[in-house]
Chain A
Amino acid sequence: MGIKSTQHPFFISVFFLGIFLFVWHVATISPPFDPTGKTEEELLVLEFNGDIVQTDDGRYVWNPEKEKVKGVPGPMTVAEKAWIELNEAFVIKGTNDHGIAFLVGYTVSRFSVGFLVASGVAILVGIILGLNQMLFRALNPFIQILKPISPLAWMPLLLYTVKDPKWTAILVVFMAAIWPTLATTAFGVNSLRKEYLQVAAILQLSWFKRLYTVILPGAAPTIVNGLRISFGSALVAVVPAEMLLGELGVGYLSWIEWNNLDIAGVIFAILVVGTVGVLLDSGFNKLAGLVTYRE
């Protein structure tokens, strides 16, 4: 059972990928330039516009330079672009032209700082609110108003107050990551089975010991769920933050390739964003697996 059931989905995945690449390839092939039915004048205009070029043997073909920005590039063009980018992954060509490995590094570190600080603050505040029903009810209206605000909506204000795009990008991630964790932590701590706290009270555990032997592990599965939601929204926020702030990173890569009208580069950047997401997500899941338990 083991071999078959683990191999099948893999082959099916490869099969679907093959179909997708094939359809993509076929759909993006442009037919060779056909000069029949065109007057000499029309051909001259096309050549003048740079749409076509004359080869050494006198035939007209599509201008290969213009081909790159015409329509959607095919998989081969993207693969070629990816190959070039990956070969230069560790090369710094200029202030704003860093290799893809650096861009991934910038995004991951920017994301990590914002997410970790937000999670720390959210868990701490969430525990306090979860243990104090009165405080929770008092602050809940504010949380409800702040929670649905898009983290990007904060950006102009943040940029104005901190006056530094680096920190603004991190703060945008922070704003995206704080609310789901805060709300679920408060809920998780509040709905912790009261017997656990009673046992802790009978055993006369100190406040700190109660926190890390009973409250935190008890609420951990709920907290992890909150972190997971925060993680997703922070990952969504980091890309546009980089685009808008012009901070080097994978989001920035996507935008700069668009500015260069290099659509293959844009597609490559999208794939890199996806890959970075998978890397961060699998790391997160490993961590989450350590703290969850079954009732």
Chain B
Amino acid sequence: MSFLSIDHLSKHFPSHSGNGKVCIFEDVTVKINKGEFVTVIGHSGCGKSTLLNIIAGLETPTEGGAILNGQEVTGPGLDRMVVFQSFALMPWMTVFENVALAVRSAYPTWSSQEIKAHVQKYITLVGLQGAETKKPTALSGGMKQRVGLARAFSIEPKVLLLDEPFAQIDALTRGVIQEELVQMWNATRNTVFMVTHDVDEAILLSDRIMLMTNGPSARIAEIVDVTIPRPRSRETIIEDEHYYKIRNHIIHFLVRHASHGQADESGEHTERSGPVEINFRDQATNQ
């Protein structure tokens, strides 16, 4: 039994014309093991954020469901913390207060000293010591998301849900924070479900990458095993023999699915077949 399983999940929205429904994605089935870092890549609008929100309990599926640790997800909870693309820090609270709000909720029995120490630990972990009393407005995008990560890690959730966490951060800072996230993940070995459209980010961070076709009626077409040993860093990862194979494979997939309907014309995958698993290590041994 896997730790987090997404079981035959479909999501329909009422269509704009009023009658009928638009299918965002359908029949998505994923199994994620404890401590695994899994990423979904797809074009904008393919429903990957909706998928993440359903796991978070912030949206309800039309069919199917998500099961975490043997329990079906029925609503949001402290065991599944989201890191938002828009940071979602309370602008009227300081950095410390933003993290403390989460810690206080997760550990309601703790004394204020315990809470303070715990908050301080995670603020230090993301390198924001000295900025505790600043308001989010006074921080750069990168620093804001560090607060978002500190808040998410601080409540030690069973699953971390990263919703395009670095999309609003400039490219140079993004690389630095990605590396920091690698280190934080190495230290905590959280189960992580991430949504992104940054291929390099996905390869650097993930154990497996799920490739999603375009909506409407998007589905997960392929699952790519990132066969690059850990620990990884941005500098060394590009030396790995599998790096460009994986990267090219994903980019080819994304280009093929750049416009609506093309995926079906290519006829590579029939409607109801499950996702194709891609593993370059196996391919190497097979050849």
Interface residues of A (CB under 8 A from B): 193, 195-196, 198-199, 201-205, 213-214, 217-218, 220, 293-295
Contact = CB atoms under 8 A, between A and B. Distances in A.
A202 B76 contact: yes
A204 B77 CA distance: 6
14 contacts: A195-B86, A196-B88, A198-B56, A198-B76, A198-B84, A198-B88, A199-B82, A199-B90, A202-B58, A203-B101, A203-B106, A213-B101, A217-B92, A217-B93
Nearest to A209: B105
A204 B105 contact: yes
A203 B137 CA distance: 22
A258 B105 CA distance: 63
Contact of B84 (A195, A201, A220, A293): A195
B112 to A, nearest CB: 16
B106 A201 contact: no
Interface size class of B (residues with CB under 8 A): 20 to 34
A217 B56 CA distance: 25
B114 to A, nearest CB: 17
Nearest to A294: B137
B90 A295 contact: no
A207 to B, nearest CB: 14
Contact of B82 (A202, A204, A205, A294): A202
Q: Which 8 A-B pairs have the closest CB atoms?
A: A195-B88, A203-B105, A293-B92, A201-B76, A217-B92, A202-B76, A294-B137, A293-B91
A46 B220 CA distance: 105
A204 B75 CA distance: 10
Nearest to A198: B58
A196 B87 CA distance: 10
Contacts of B105: 203-205
B80 interface: yes
Given A202-B58, A214-B90, A293-B135, 9 more contacts: A195-B84, A196-B90, A198-B82, A201-B76, A202-B57, A202-B82, A213-B90, A220-B92, A293-B91
